Amino acid sequence: MNNSLQPGFNNLSDIVKALENQHKVSTTITNNATVAMFMMNDKGFCTFMNPAAEQMIGFKLEEVQDQPLHYIIHHHHPDGTPFPMEECPIDKALPTNNSVRAHQDTFIRRDGTFFPVSCAASPIFEDGVPVATVIEVKDLTEEKRAEKALRDSEEMFRFMAETLPQMFWITRPDGYCTYYNQRWVEFTGIPMEQLLGFGWLETLHPDDKEKASLAWRTAVETSGDYQVEYRVRRHDGKYRWHLTRGLPRVDENGVISMWVGSTTDIHEHKSLAQELLSANEEMAAAFEREQAAYQKVESQRQMLHDLFMQAPAMIAIQRGPEHVYELVNPHYQRLAPGRTFVGKTVEETWPELKSQGFFDLLDQVYKTGEPYYGKELLAKIDRFNTGNLEDTYYNFVYQAFKEEGKIAGIVTFAFDVTELVLAKQSSDINKNNSAE
C-alpha cells in the first residue's frame, strides 16, 4: 500500500472512532436517563424513545411509528374531549420554530390512564430547516399526589382548627401571633387583621395584662408550659374569665419554632366557685382543691400532638354513614379505656348509647351537614365494662366535614362537665335546704 496514503486513513480512523465514542456516550446517557426522551420528525411521527419513555407510556418504539405520536399518547383531554394535533403546543414547536419549556400537560398511557407531566420541546435544524423535535418529559404523578396530600392536610388542619369550640392560636417564638381561629373574631368582635401580632393584648382586662405578660415571659425563658387565667373582653363589652394553655414546639436542636395553644371560657367555673365560697367556705375550699387538681392534671397532658392528637378536648373522627371511627385522641379514649375504637362503628363501640338518642343525632348531622351543639347533655355509659351505667355529662359538638364537596364523616369535639353539673346540682340542693 502506498505509504503516502497512510496518514489519511489514520485521520479517518480517528474520526470514526471519535464518532463511535460519541454515539456510545449519547446512547448511554439516553438509555440511563430517568427523564423520558422522545424524538419526532417533521410529520410528528416518533423516531426515537429511550427506555424511560417506553416504560412511561407502555409502548415500544416499533408500536408507535405508524402514526403521529400525538394520536397515541396525547389524543384526548382528561375530560374526554378530543385534542386535535394542530392545537398541541408540543407539535407546534417545530413548525413555529419555538422551544417549549416547563409546559405542564396530561399524557395517556397504553392502558388508557391519564397522568400529569412536565414537558420541554426543542426543534432541531439542518441547514436552517426544522427537521425534528426533541421532547423531554417528566412524570409528575408522585409530585401531584404529594401536593394533594399536603393540601388535604392543610385543609383538615384548618377545618379542625376552625370547628374547635375553643379559641385556638399559634405564635412565633417571640409571641407574635400568626394564626387565630374564627372563634376569636366571633367572641371579641375584633377583625382578624387587628388581632394578629399582639392585638390580642388589647382584649384583656387592664388588671390582668401584667399577670399574662409575666406568665408568658416565664414560659419563654424556661421553655415550659404557658398557663394563665385572665379576663377577655367580649364583643358586647363584658369581660369573661378564660383559661389559656400553650406549649412550645421544639425542633431537633432544642430550639422553639412556634407556640400553639387554646383559650377556653371558664367564666361559669369561676362564677360557681365564687357563689359556693359565699354560701359555704368549706364547699368553696373543696371546689377550689378540685379545680386546682383538675388544672394540674390538665397542665401535665401533652397538647396538640400534630396540633390535635393531644388537644385538651375529646376529639374523634367518624367516617361514612355508618360512623366508623377513624381517629380518637387520648382524651376520647379515656372515656372507655378498655374499648377499641378505630375501625369500628359508633354503634358497635357504644351499644349502651343506642337508646339514648346519640346515634340519631349523628345520622342527622351526616345527612344535613348542620352541626349539633350539646350542652350538659346526659350520657349513661358503662365506662369500665362492668355492666353498671354511670351518669356523665358533656358539652359537645358534632360537626360534619366534606371531601370533594360531599359529606365524608363527622368530627366530635367534647368536654366532660360532669363535675360542674354535679356541683351545680349540689349547690341547688344546698340553697333549697338553706331556704327551708
Q: What is the DSSP secondary-structure string of 265-284? A: E-HHHHHHHHHHHHH-HHHH
Q: What is the mean pLDDT of residues 298-306?
A: 46
Q: What letter does residue 75 receive in the DSSP assignment?
A: S
The pLDDT score that the predictor gives to residue 282 is 56
Asked whether the predicted pLDDT for residue 319 surpasses 70, the reply is yes
Domain 314-435 fold: Beta-Lactamase (3.30.450)
Q: Where are the domains of the chain?
A: 1-31, 33-139, 151-301, 314-435
The pLDDT score that the predictor gives to residue 161 is 60
* Residue of 386, 378, 369 whose CA lies nearest to 421: 378
Helix (H) or strand (E) holding 392: strand 390-403
Torsion sign across C-alpha atoms 137, 143, 148, 154: negative
The pLDDT score that the predictor gives to residue 182 is 83
The pLDDT score that the predictor gives to residue 157 is 62
pLDDT in tens, 213-250: 888 888 888 888 888 899 999 999 999 999 888 888 88
Out of 115-124, 201-210, 261-270, which region has the weakest mean confidence (pLDDT)? 261-270
pLDDT in tens, 9-66: 456 555 555 545 554 544 544 555 568 989 999 889 999 999 989 999 999 999 998 8
Asked whether the predicted pLDDT for residue 1 surpasses 50, the reply is no
Query: How far is the C-alpha of 113 from the C-alpha of 78, rounded, in Å?
Result: 9
Whether 33-139 shares its CATH topology with 151-301 is answered yes
- Greatest Cα pair distance, the chain, in angstroms, is 138
Q: What are the φ/ψ torsions at residue 140 (nearest 5 degrees)?
A: -100, 15
Which range in 79-93, 119-133, 252-266, 369-383 is most confidently predicted, on average pLDDT?
Answer: 369-383
Out of 7-16, 113-122, 386-395, which region has the weakest mean confidence (pLDDT)? 7-16
* Residue of 118, 259, 253 whose CA lies nearest to 180: 259
The alpha carbon of residue 138 and the mean position of all alpha carbons in its chain are separated, in whole angstroms, by 27
Q: What letter does residue 202 receive in the DSSP assignment?
A: G
The pLDDT score that the predictor gives to residue 306 is 59
Asked whether the predicted pLDDT for residue 301 surpasses 50, the reply is no
Query: How far is the C-alpha of 316 from the C-alpha of 146, rounded, in Å?
Result: 25
Asked whether the predicted pLDDT for residue 341 surpasses 80, the reply is yes
Cβ–Cβ < 8 Å for 372, 365: yes
Partners of 390 in the β-ladder: 381
pTM: 0.38
**CATH 3.20.20.80 describes domain 33-139:** no
Q: In terms of pLDDT, which residue wins out, 16 or 196?
A: 196
Question: Which cell is 186 given?
Answer: 366571633
Total residues found in the chain within this entry: 436
Question: Which cell is 319 given?
Answer: 367516617
Mean pLDDT over all residues of the chain? 82
Strands (E), 206-238: 226-233
pLDDT in tens, 58-100: 999 999 988 899 999 999 999 989 999 888 888 887 776 777 8
Query: How far is the C-alpha of 124 from the C-alpha of 105, rounded, in Å?
Result: 22
Strands (E), 45-113: 46-49, 100-108
Asked whether the predicted pLDDT for residue 2 surpasses 70, the reply is no
The pLDDT score that the predictor gives to residue 213 is 86
309, burial (CB in 10 Å: exposed 0-12, middle 13-18, buried 19+)? middle
Domain 151-301 fold: Beta-Lactamase (3.30.450)
Torsion sign across C-alpha atoms 428, 431, 435, 436: positive
Helices (runs of H) and strands (runs of E) counted in the chain: 14, 15
